[in-house]
């Protein structure tokens, strides 16, 4: 399936160490960089091995939005008038991740989230004390704070007091990723951290009891045995670029057409970790989304399936819409809007499946059951006029009868509309980053973070922008500290 061998090299077969370090980190993205900084600051000798010729990983390709809050609020939240509570953040994330939630990770993430914000600021990350009030995927201005999840929508608004927790760097446009990685790379460069680029991690080195003592890396075409006295951190991303792995482990994600990741997201860290005895969690899960807003006016529309029925409250986060859209029976997902409310969405690339002065005209053009679509819209309109949505409890601010003329945007997977995606399954770890076996033991010397691990975000149904970079940077830091404090072997 892959050129990465999953079986570790035996320690007893290692005749020579070509390089020694305390902490070896595979991958110089957000997780690896943060781990390196913390491990170094805690006194450990650190080496990063990055398969590409430059730092960045998938964090550099992202918006670098970070989901943070709790503890009375980050500086930005407080400046914007929000007193976020740790319990609200915790209860929200637990509900959003649902039966996949990792309570221990969510607890630690919420407890230390404001500290994480302060640390990012101390590294040089600049966040403006301002809120971006539009419903958007990210702030394209230099504003900081916005709602990026499902906090204000049913059923989550009934579980925890909503608060915006998406933090965007002070930069115009979608340029947060390169900026954050520039900051983190600068901090790594200031420290005594050795970085090897164009260095491909091939396999781990384990002893006969399974403990990890290092890894084999190929640099300049030569295999080198690297001893890691305190441990190896796998922070090599997910497997969104490995088509064979996707088809085998996460086939639903192949409905997506825009992989979000860098070419190194081949699952190599996951494969190496599993080969060393690590358990894998939720390999079928991923972020799969339908970025139908901005413009936020499209939220006034309603999504219908091939039956012409609604299936979700349209005010939720775009990935939650996608999660339910791809689970509808029959082929067809459409966003029905008033033609005048329609503005071309910048990301979606959806074609207009039909238009009509009447719903019957629209339904016939699109190929939807006429009477059912007519009822769906009539029922929705009747209640929307009263600020009610008895079916899916869409928030009153997004309720408005859909008037003629009508338009239907084709959001059917495969129709040309974009469905970005990346993987969320990976190695089972403790909050410390220690990799677990299936019988619940830790594997001495082996750690994982970022999308190589199964972290806080585990399902598109409860995803929020900022959770993946938040998880990667936060748990990268935790793992870095944990490794620095681990006993040195050899």
Choices 74-82, 109-117, 437-445, 479-487; region in contact with a copy of itself by CB under 8 A: 437-445
161 binds a copy of itself (CB under 8 A): no
Structure token pair of residue 85: 């509570």
280 binds a copy of itself (CB under 8 A): yes
339 binds a copy of itself (CB under 8 A): no
Spatial separation of the C-alpha atoms in residues 480 and 33, rounded to whole Å: 9
Using CB under 8 A, pick the residue from 173, 263, 371, 490 that binds a copy of itself: 371
Nearer to a copy of itself, 58 or 203 (CB): 203
Structure token pair of residue 308: 């012409």
Structure token pair of residue 134: 């539009």
Cα 52 versus chain centre, distance:
21
Using CB under 8 A, pick the residue from 213, 224, 282, 318 that binds a copy of itself: 282
Nearer to a copy of itself, 72 or 251 (CB): 251
390 binds a copy of itself (CB under 8 A): yes
Nearer to a copy of itself, 196 or 389 (CB): 389
Choices 168-176, 178-186, 257-265, 281-289; region in contact with a copy of itself by CB under 8 A: 281-289
Q: What's the closest the beta carbon of residue 137 comes to a copy of itself, in angstroms?
A: 22
Contact 214, 225 (CB under 8 A): yes
369 binds a copy of itself (CB under 8 A): yes
Nearer to a copy of itself, 40 or 304 (CB): 304
Choices 213-221, 222-230, 294-302, 323-331; region in contact with a copy of itself by CB under 8 A: 323-331
Q: Which residue do the tokens 């702030």 mark? A: 139
Contact positions with a copy of itself (CB under 8 A) in 249-278: 249, 251-252, 254, 270-271, 274-275, 277
Q: What's the closest the beta carbon of residue 130 comes to a copy of itself, in angstroms?
A: 34
Spatial separation of the C-alpha atoms in residues 460 and 92, rounded to whole Å: 15
5 binds a copy of itself (CB under 8 A): yes
Instruction: Give the alpha-carbon dihedral of 371, 374, 376, 379, to 10 degrees.
Output: -120
296 binds a copy of itself (CB under 8 A): no
Spell out the alpha helix ranges (H) of 42-173. Answer: 75-79, 86-97, 103-111, 113-123
385 binds a copy of itself (CB under 8 A): no
Q: Is 141 exposed, middle or buried (0-12, 13-18, 19+ CB in 10 A)?
A: middle
4 binds a copy of itself (CB under 8 A): yes
7 binds a copy of itself (CB under 8 A): yes
213 binds a copy of itself (CB under 8 A): no
Using CB under 8 A, pick the residue from 17, 197, 347, 379 that binds a copy of itself: 379
Contact 435, 447 (CB under 8 A): yes
Q: Is 42 exposed, middle or buried (0-12, 13-18, 19+ CB in 10 A)?
A: middle
**Structural Rg of the chain based on CA atoms:** 23
User: What does residue 193 show for φ and ψ, rounded to 5 degrees?
Assistant: -110, 130
99 binds a copy of itself (CB under 8 A): yes
Strands (E), 431-474: 434-436, 442-448
Helix (H, G, I), strand (E, B), or coil: what is residue 67? strand
Nearer to a copy of itself, 82 or 398 (CB): 398
Nearer to a copy of itself, 99 or 220 (CB): 99
Angle between helices 467-485 and 113-123 (to 10 degrees): 90
439 binds a copy of itself (CB under 8 A): yes
Choices 53-61, 69-77, 137-145, 321-329; region in contact with a copy of itself by CB under 8 A: 321-329
Spatial separation of the C-alpha atoms in residues 17 and 159, rounded to whole Å: 54
Nearer to a copy of itself, 130 or 274 (CB): 274
Spatial separation of the C-alpha atoms in residues 59 and 458, rounded to whole Å: 18
220 binds a copy of itself (CB under 8 A): no
Contact positions with a copy of itself (CB under 8 A) in 298-317: 307-312
159 binds a copy of itself (CB under 8 A): no
Using CB under 8 A, pick the residue from 16, 158, 192, 208 that binds a copy of itself: 208
Using CB under 8 A, pick the residue from 81, 330, 414, 487 that binds a copy of itself: 330
Helix (H, G, I), strand (E, B), or coil: what is residue 412? coil
How many H-runs (helices) and E-runs (strands) does the chain carry? 12, 21
Nearer to a copy of itself, 238 or 345 (CB): 238
Q: What's the closest the beta carbon of residue 446 comes to a copy of itself, in angstroms?
A: 13
Spatial separation of the C-alpha atoms in residues 446 and 479, rounded to whole Å: 10
What is the helix (H) or strand (E) element at residue 10, kind and residue range?
A: strand 9-10
Contact 395, 152 (CB under 8 A): yes
Helix (H, G, I), strand (E, B), or coil: what is residue 409? strand
Contact residues: a copy of itself, CB under 8 A: 1-7, 10, 12, 99-100, 208, 210, 248-249, 251-252, 254, 270-271, 274-275, 277, 279-284, 307-312, 324, 327, 329-330, 369, 371-372, 375, 379, 382, 390-392, 428, 437-440
């Amino acid at each position: 399936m892959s050129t990465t061998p999953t079986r570790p090299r035996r320690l007893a077969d290692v005749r020579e160490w070509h390089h020694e370090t305390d902490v070896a980190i595979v991958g110089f993205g957000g997780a690896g960089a943060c781990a390196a900084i913390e491990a170094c600051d805690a006194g450990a000798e650190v080496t990063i091995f990055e398969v590409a010729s430059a730092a960045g990983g998938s964090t550099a390709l992202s918006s670098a939005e970070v989901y943070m809050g709790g503890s009375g609020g980050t500086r930005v939240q407080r400046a914007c008038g929000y007193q976020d509570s740790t319990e609200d953040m915790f209860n929200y994330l637990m509900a959003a991740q649902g039966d996949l939630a990792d309570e221990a990770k969510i607890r630690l993430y919420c407890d230390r989230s404001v500290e994480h914000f302060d640390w990012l600021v101390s590294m040089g990350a600049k966040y403006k004390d301002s809120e971006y009030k539009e419903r958007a995927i990210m702030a394209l201005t230099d504003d900081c704070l916005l709602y990026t999840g499902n906090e204000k929508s049913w059923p989550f608004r009934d579980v925890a007091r909503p608060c915006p927790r998406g933090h965007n760097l002070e930069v115009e446009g979608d340029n947060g990723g390169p900026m954050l990685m520039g900051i983190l790379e600068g901090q790594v460069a200031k420290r005594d951290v050795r970085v090897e680029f164009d260095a491909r991690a091939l396999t781990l080195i384990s002893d006969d009891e399974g403990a990890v003592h290092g890894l084999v890396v190929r640099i300049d075409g030569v295999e080198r045995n690297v001893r890691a006295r305190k441990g190896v951190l796998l922070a090599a991303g997910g497997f969104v670029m490995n088509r064979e792995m996707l088809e085998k482990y996460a086939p639903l994600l192949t409905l997506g057409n825009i992989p979000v990741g860098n070419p190194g997201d081949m699952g190599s860290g996951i494969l190496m970790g599993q080969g060393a005895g690590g358990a894998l969690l939720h390999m079928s899960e991923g972020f799969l989304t339908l970025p139908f807003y901005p413009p936020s006016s499209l939220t006034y529309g309603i999504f219908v399936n091939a039956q012409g029925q609604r299936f979700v409250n349209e005010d939720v986060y775009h990935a939650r819409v996608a999660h339910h859209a791809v689970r509808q029976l029959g082929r067809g997902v459409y966003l029905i809007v008033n033609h005048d409310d329609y503005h071309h969405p910048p990301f979606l690339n959806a074609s207009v499946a039909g238009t009509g002065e009447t719903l019957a005209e629209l339904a016939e053009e699109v190929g939807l059951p006429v009477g059912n679509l007519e009822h769906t819209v009539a029922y929705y309109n009747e209640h929307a006029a009263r600020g009610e949505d008895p079916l899916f409890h869409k928030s009153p601010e997004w309720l408005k009868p859909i008037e003629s003329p009508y338009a239907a945007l084709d959001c059917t997977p495969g129709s040309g509309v974009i469905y970005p995606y990346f993987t969320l399954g990976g190695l089972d770890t403790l909050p410390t980053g220690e990799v677990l076996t299936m019988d619940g033991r830790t594997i001495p010397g082996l750690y994982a973070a970022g999308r190589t691990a199964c972290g806080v975000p585990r399902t598109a149904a409860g995803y929020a922008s900022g959770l993946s970079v938040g998880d990667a940077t936060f748990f990268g830091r935790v793992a870095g500290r944990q490794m620095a404090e681990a006993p040195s072997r050899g």
